[in-house]
Amino acid sequence: MTLLGQFALWAAFLLGLWCVTIAFSGRWRRRPELSQSVIRSVYAVCGCLLVASVALWKGLISHDFNIEYVAAYTSRNLPSYYIFTAFWAGQKGSLLFWAVVLSIFAAAAQLLTSRRYAYLMPYVAGVTSAVVVFFVGVMLFAADPFERLGFTPEDGRGLNPQLQNVGMVIHPPMLYLGYISITIPFAFAVAALLSRRLDTGWIHAIRKWTLVSWLFLSIGITLGMWWAYVELGWGGYWAWDPVENASFLPWLTMTAFLHSVMIQEKRGMLKRWNLGLIIGTFLLSIFGTFITRSGVIASVHSFTQSNVGYFFLAFLVVGAILSFTLLYTRWSLLEAEVQLESMVSREAAFLFNNLLFVGIAFSVLWGTLFPILSELVKGTKITVGPPFFNRVNVPLGLLLLALTGVGPLIAWRKASTANLKRQFIVPAASGVLTLVALLALGIRDLYAIMALALAGFVAGTIMQEFYRGVRARRRMHGESTPVALVHLIGRNRRRYGGYIVHAGILIYFVAFAGMAFKREREATLKPGQSVELSSPFGHTYRFTHVGISQYEALNRIVSAATVEVAKNGRRAGLMSSEKRQHVDSFKRPTFEPSTEVAIRSNLQEDVYIVFAGAVNGTEEAVYRFNVNPLVWWVWFGGLVLALGGLITMWPGGGPLAVSTRRVQAGYEAALVGAAKE
């Protein structure tokens, strides 16, 4: 199967080169058969890479340890679902995963895009094929997933213990899907620049693709936070790690694009800015891949240092030069159709929103690159820690949260004083009441108070928008409240799906604010000894060390430390945290010992216990006890955000129950009337 896999890679490489050459030569414009050849090449490349993927999976499943990649990331005693996920666990396999998924997306873009954008599709094929050719070339010349060893080991090394988590099944694929699908909007943007067709056509063509990419990235980042929380044992879910930052950067710029593109569609503004955001987002996705694979920055998420990083650095530089040069050559064709009329308008709010997103992205990028730059300049690597990122980004994030509530309240073009008073009274009252309640409860942490008060303001905005929309539908159609709500969302998916996304972001901020009140205590306990820890919600937890037990599982030797937990004097049950020594099928240790955290979660707080180790081989145990407030709401916020994203991108919408212009005008009048009351 390795020969078949390598043959498939070479076939994909050569077919991709053919596609790139013909697409960018422009010969297809007068020869329809060449245009079809370019598009068919995309399908052929996809087929070849699917064959290569099947060949690698066959080697993984059959335990062909003569393949270096199989021996490095699997073992005979590894659970079967982790053998499946080993495909993307290492550098070589993840490169093939990236290439095959991109080829599937490229083929889907050709297949699903409307014929009215046919003038863009050969260029789109050329751009996507160029990226695929790069990844396949890296595999062929630097990181061959089918490389064979000079001997066949009895067993493989197995999968890193930190990756032996259910999150490994879904987190990396989701994040990769987000990274990879960014290439499709980028390809359409480049195609629009090359064809000089710079109206809103290319934006309409990529709307769903951009939302797909944003949604996958959002889910992937949230799952990454969850994985870090349950697997790494440090008690948090975001540490401003370089690889975390690398995934956050394209999410920031893509979110900015999703907001600013509405201004271009509605008002014909920010054309240059939007193209720059799409190009920048793609380059940041490649930058994230470079950070992960180069080894230039230490991270628990990164692969080992290798020469692959140089390939990505070269691709990043060349891609940036070519893309921005192309944008510069089309600069005169991208004049705004209108100018900003007022700073008190929805356009201005979106503009400030974009500046904040880009400002946060710049600060994260600077903090991530600073260790590299300091080593180049001074010869010493200076690491930038969480205090820098928090000091800069927390205030910017709070401003962004405020704009989340302000934007929907301001009219397009220019808002009147009467409009502002009418729109802001309920959200402002909601924010003020939240602030008063927080002060009455004795909360004094400045950033937490600001976050929660602004959350009250944004919640008021969202509820007001839904209330007015539902009331307008009830007036026009006589529907019950639940039916009116469902129809309101179904008929206006982009708008109200966006509000649901804002609700998810709001929940994130509330949950993040909760971590300002976390409690932590370390203790060394003998069996029967106890410690107590208070929670911000007034509960008192008592932890009593029961003992340490040892047992063998399928691919590990486990030392489990058990604690009896009492809450406010009442027994709440037992919790066990583990130290795991992973072994191969011959009981030989394969990795350093890992820790399995004990977590008990409810809507208020998490009890989080880490067993740090036994004292001198006895049953005396070293523990770290945490009470982390509102963590459950982080994961719930991710679900709400994903739901809003799905609603926004869901195709169709069906015919309106009553679709005449007269009734639609009446509905809009009812909505305005609801706003005035």
Q: pLDDT band for 676, please (50, 70, 90 cuts).
A: very low
pLDDT band of residue 674 (cuts 50, 70, 90) is very low
Predicted pLDDT of residue 449: 95
SS3 550: strand
Amino acid, single-letter form, for residue 430: S
Token pair for 466: 């839904």
* Averaged pLDDT for residues 378-400: 88
Highest mean pLDDT among 124-128, 196-200, 233-237, 662-666: 124-128
Contact assessment for residue 563 and residue 523, using Cβ atoms and an 8 Å cutoff: no
Q: What is the mean pLDDT of the chain?
A: 89
- Compute the half-sphere exposure of residue 529: CA atoms within 13 Å on the CB side of its CA: 10
Report which of 595, 536, 600, 534 is spatially closest to residue 563, judged by C-alpha positions: 600
* DSSP letters spanning 96-138: HHHHHHHHHHHHHHHHHS-GGGTTTHHHHHHHHHHHHHHHHHH
Residue with tokens 């609603």: 647
Lowest average pLDDT, out of 140-149, 492-501, 627-636, 665-674, goes to: 665-674
Q: Is 677 a residue whose pLDDT tops 70?
A: no
Nearest to 389 by CA among 412, 409, 408, 370: 370
Kindly give, in sequence order, each residue whose CB lies less than 8 Å from that of residue 182, ignoring residues fewer than 6 positions away: 213, 250, 254, 281, 282, 285
Strands 594-596 and 519-525: unpaired
Q: Is 380 exposed, middle or buried (0-12, 13-18, 19+ CB in 10 A)?
A: exposed
pLDDT at res. 304: 54
Q: Which pLDDT value is given to residue 644?
A: 95
Which pLDDT value is given to residue 667? 40
Give the containing element (helix H, strand E) for 558.
strand 556-567
Q: What is the pLDDT of residue 306?
A: 66
Structure tokens belonging to residue 75: 């073992």
- In angstroms, the CA 476 to CA 673 distance is 12
What confidence score (pLDDT) does residue 299 get? 54
| Contact in structure between 597 and 230 (CB atoms under 8 Å) | yes
User: Nearest-CA neighbor of 536 among 410, 466, 452?
Assistant: 452
Spatial separation of the C-alpha atoms in residues 76 and 280, rounded to whole Å = 43
Phi-psi domain of 322 (left: phi exceeds 0; alpha: psi -120 through 50; beta: other): alpha
Task: Give dist(CA 587, CA 593) in Å, integer.
Answer: 14
What CATH number should be reported for the domain whose range is 518-630?
Answer: 2.60.98
pLDDT digits (tens, 9 = 90+) for 18-46: 999 999 987 777 788 888 899 999 999 99
pLDDT at 291 over 50: yes
- Which residues make up the CATH 2.60.98 domain(s) of the chain? 518-630
How far apart CA 20 and CA 133 sit, in angstroms, is 9
In angstroms, the Cα distances linking 559 to 384, 421, 530, 555, 582 are: 35, 63, 20, 14, 12
Does an H or E element contain 595, and which? strand 594-596
Which pLDDT band holds residue 665 (cuts at 50, 70, 90)?
very low
Q: Which of 72-86, 321-335, 393-407, 598-612 has the lowest mean pLDDT?
A: 72-86
Tell whether the model's pLDDT for residue 462 goes beyond 50. Answer: yes
Closest CA to 447 of 400, 394, 387, 515: 394
Q: Which residue has the tokens 């509405």?
A: 262
Angle at the Cα of 63 from the Cα atoms of 61 and 68, rounded to 5 degrees: 110
The CB density around residue 126, as the number of other CB atoms within 10 Å, is 26
Please name the helix (run of DSSP H) or strand (run of DSSP E) that holds residue 581, with its range, or none: strand 570-582
Q: Angle, to 10 degrees, between the axis of helix 121-141 and the axis of helix 308-329?
A: 160
Give the Cα separation of 4 and 272 in Å (integer): 46
Higher pLDDT, 85 or 375: 85
Please state the φ and ψ torsions of residue 520, each to the nearest 5 degrees.
Answer: -145, 145
For residue 661, the tally of other CB atoms under 10 A from its CB is 7
pLDDT at 671: 46
Token look-up 């539908």 returns: 473
**C-alpha distance across the termini of the chain, in Å:** 71
